[in-house]
Amino acid sequence: MGELRLMKGNEVIAEAAIRAGADGYFGYPITPQSEIMETLMVRKPWEETGMVVLQAESEVASINMVYGGAGCGKKVMTSSSSPGVSLMMEGISYIAGAELPCLIVNIVRGGPGLGTIQPSQADYFQSVKGGGHGDYRLIVLAPNSVQEMNDHVGLGFDLAFKYRNPALILSDGVIGQMMEKVELSDYKPRLTEEEIIEKYGDWAHIGKPANRSQNVVTSLELQSEIMEKRNQHLIEKYASMQEDVMYEEIMTEDAEYLFVAFGSSSRICQKAIELARAEGIKVGLFRPITLFPFATNQLKELGQKMKGILTVEMNAGQMVEDVKLAVECKVPVEWFGRFGGIIPSPQEIVDALKHKIIGG
């Protein structure tokens, strides 16, 4: 049993990063996630593990610091909230193009624009469909508890290095700010220089010994024939990520109806299930944990057995498109959500199920 603590989601991200053996964090303050860098600055991990923590001049700089650090074969990360993550899009595209591993945390707030500092899930499209330019995908993890905020830091780094691809934790102000019991991960030592040379010496820019050719981290390729092959390789890599797809099913065995929800919405849906079942409505929950790769096949199999599906999101209806694609529109799929920083109540969700699916 690991160390038990009562902690805020954002603070856990910082603690988990230190324990995961992260080499560097680069960030810029923005609500509702500033506690991540604040916690790191209080913890001073550079004295404990040697981890570098730096407040950058902007999110543009932070993501490019991540590009530089990741290119060294180091475990590096940044965190921000929606407007800041928008600023990072160019850098994220470069990191994906250069096939570098890193972790990005987005504690989403309502948009568009400066929007609201209240929680939202409106950055689903930006996270799973691209956001930056070019054909690329991020590994996207959607924690729905403070415990998973802890777990997904280590998992995010592992997947990022497994695929040499940026991983993004898509969370929101509810989970970032909420306090829950958490079992912290055990400390993993940072890799030594020798270990980095051994593991990543064939691509990381760590200094070129006389007996090997240059390592150049770049996303540039002007020859179309080679660039097309690179794109092809990336597409195959993204497809291969299906083996790491993660999802959770709750009370689906006897279900006639299904909620599909991720992150904080999925927590509210669990309460909505209780309320609905008390009224005799057999509803369950399908919760994608990895938003990319998306559990398309698993949702197809389960979803097509249902009388109807309600996708619940704190946005204007984004994941619902992927749910419809998964079940190939063979069962009715509707969307319910609140936005602008409003969190839907469990009763609202039950009412929406009745109006949009059961009565509809």
Partner 1 sequence: MADIDIKDIIREENLVYKKTDVLTDNVMHYCPGCSHGVVHKLVAEVIEEMGIQEQTIGVSPVGCSVFAYNYIDIDWSEAAHGRAPAVATAIKRLMPEKFVFTYQGDGDLASIGAAEILHACNRGENIVVIFINNAIYGMTGGQMAPTTLVGMPTATSPYGRQIDLHGYPMKMTEIVATLPGTCFVTRQSVEKAAAVRKTKKAIRKAFENQKAGKGTSFIEVVSTCSSGWKVNPVKANEWMTEHMFPFYPLGDKKDCEKDPAEDYEKYMKG
Contact set with partner 1 (CB under 8 A): 23-24, 26, 52, 54, 56-58, 60-62, 64-69, 71-72, 74, 76, 90-91, 94, 98, 205-210, 214-220
CA-angle at 340, arms to 346 and 34, nearest 5° = 100
Q: Which of 127, 133, 141 is nearest to 85 (CA)?
A: 127
Contacting residues for 74 by C-beta, under 8 A, at least 6 apart: 23, 24, 196
Q: CB 24 → partner 1: shortest distance, Å?
A: 6
Using CA atoms of 189, 242, 121, 326 in order, give the dihedral in degrees to the nearest 10. Answer: -170
Q: Which of 245, 64, 242 is nearest to 141 (CA)?
A: 245
Instruction: Compute the distance between CA of residue 258 and CA of residue 248 in angstroms, rounded to an integer.
Output: 13
Instruction: Compute the distance between CA of residue 346 and CA of residue 328 in angstroms, rounded to an integer.
Output: 28
Which of residues 73 and 263 has its CB atom nearest to partner 1 in the complex? 73
Neighbours of 224 (CB within 10 A): 8
Which of residues 74 and 109 has its CB atom nearest to partner 1 in the complex? 74
Q: CB 100 → partner 1: shortest distance, Å?
A: 10
Q: CB 54 → partner 1: shortest distance, Å?
A: 7
Which of residues 62 and 185 has its CB atom nearest to partner 1 in the complex? 62
DSSP symbols for 99-142: T--EEEEEEEB--STT--SSB--TTHHHHHH-SSSSS---EEE-
Q: Tell me the pairing of strands 139-141 and 179-183.
A: unpaired
Q: What are the Cα distances from residue 33, in Å, to 10, 133, 156, 188, 339?
A: 6, 25, 18, 24, 19
Q: CB 94 → partner 1: shortest distance, Å?
A: 5
Q: CB 336 → partner 1: shortest distance, Å?
A: 40
Q: CB 349 → partner 1: shortest distance, Å?
A: 42
Which of residues 63 and 285 has its CB atom nearest to partner 1 in the complex? 63
Which of residues 37 and 98 has its CB atom nearest to partner 1 in the complex? 98
CA-angle at 335, arms to 116 and 83, nearest 5° = 25
Which of residues 88 and 182 has its CB atom nearest to partner 1 in the complex? 88
Which of residues 63 and 261 has its CB atom nearest to partner 1 in the complex? 63
What residue type is 99 in one-letter code?
E
Q: CB 61 → partner 1: shortest distance, Å?
A: 4
